[in-house]
Amino acid sequence: MENNQPKSTNSYLVIIVFVAVLAVVGLFLVLSPKKTPVSIPLSSPHSALTAPLPTPPARILTTGEVNLNMVANPKIIKVGQEFTLDLNINPGTFDVIGLETHFTYNPSIISITKVEAGTYLKNGVILVNQNNPQTGRLDYAIASQTKARGTGTIIILHALAVAPATMIDTPNQSIIVFNPKGTKVGLSNPVKNERLGEEQTKVIIKQDGFTITP
């Protein structure tokens, strides 16, 4: 018969060594200090998420005004007499580089025979100059590369008195009616809402009164 005693002894030795290794590993895990996980704040450049920046409040600047005033010369006119309607501008502290205006007039009371640029934008280029005496509609636009400051006459309308009437001091009468939304003054330094980028400059249109007598 063969002797199996050496094989059994070897098996016991392997088991004892394996158990000893497990014990050493377990003891190492128990005795080793625990590491606290590091948290990365949202504002850290290493994070994929960044905290949103607060939105600054909108700062609305003071609204500016540009005044347009139509003045008749003379103010008392007889039927059949020629006269002028001067559109004067007062832009305050702004620099003017252009104007666009649209208005209607009553052709049974006045007839506009000629439209010409005033001396205010003397180096300007007239982009639109359309006058329809039958329907009583006028569209006009002028632009200039040279800035204009101060007050002056920007458009001169040559007119003929057709019938007696009285024009009182208001921009909304049956003789001449401006389109306030269509009247725009081009400025090189407009006041704006810094956040929205919208122009805050207001164009105020006035008309001096005049009378047409029989």
Q: How many CB atoms lie within 10 A of CB 95?
A: 14
C-alpha angle 201-207-209 in degrees, rounded to nearest 5: 165
Asked if 128 and 141 touch (Cβ cutoff 8 Å), the reply is: yes
Judge whether 124 lies within some domain.
Answer: yes
Euclidean distance between CA atoms 103 and 174, whole angstroms:
11
Dump pLDDT digits (tens) for 56-76.
Answer: 444 433 456 788 999 999 999
Asked if 200 and 60 touch (Cβ cutoff 8 Å), the reply is: yes
More confident residue, 79 or 95: 79
Judge whether 160 lies within some domain.
Answer: yes
| Percentage of residues in the chain having pLDDT higher than 90 | 34
Euclidean distance between CA atoms 214 and 205, whole angstroms:
29
Judge whether 125 lies within some domain.
Answer: yes
Does the structure show a pLDDT above 50 at 205? yes
Per the structure block, which two tokens stand in for 65? 């005004």
Nearest to 117 by CA among 108, 126, 106: 126
Euclidean distance between CA atoms 100 and 87, whole angstroms:
12
Judge whether 144 lies within some domain.
Answer: yes
Judge whether 26 lies within some domain.
Answer: no
Judge whether 132 lies within some domain.
Answer: yes
**Residue 163 DSSP code:** S
Q: What pTM, to 2 d.p., does this model score?
A: 0.65
Judge whether 146 lies within some domain.
Answer: yes
Does the structure show a pLDDT above 60 at 10? no
Backbone angles phi and psi of 154, in degrees to 5? -100, -25
Dump pLDDT digits (tens) for 117-155.
Answer: 999 988 899 999 999 999 999 999 999 988 898 999 999
Q: How far is CA 99 from each of CA 149, 183, 185, 192, rounded to the nearest angstrom?
A: 14, 8, 4, 18
Number of domains in the chain: 1
Among 23-27, 42-46, 201-205, which is the least confidently predicted range?
A: 42-46
Q: Is 159 helix (H, G, I), strand (E, B) or coil?
A: strand
Does the structure show a pLDDT above 90 at 38? no
| 202: CATH | 2.60.40.680
**Residue 48 DSSP code:** S
Q: What is the mean pLDDT of the chain?
A: 75
Mean pLDDT value across residues 43-67 = 50
Mean pLDDT value across residues 40-64 = 45
Does the structure show a pLDDT above 80 at 51? no
Asked if 200 and 193 touch (Cβ cutoff 8 Å), the reply is: yes
Mean pLDDT value across residues 35-41 = 50
What local confidence, expressed as pLDDT, does residue 208 receive? 85
Euclidean distance between CA atoms 81 and 73, whole angstroms:
11
Judge whether 1 lies within some domain.
Answer: no
Per the structure block, which two tokens stand in for 27? 């003891």
Query: Could you tell me the pLDDT band of residue 187, with boundaries at 50, 70 and 90?
Result: confident
Domain span at 176: 76-213
Euclidean distance between CA atoms 178 and 65, whole angstroms:
17
Q: Is 51 helix (H, G, I), strand (E, B) or coil?
A: coil
Strand partners, 39: none
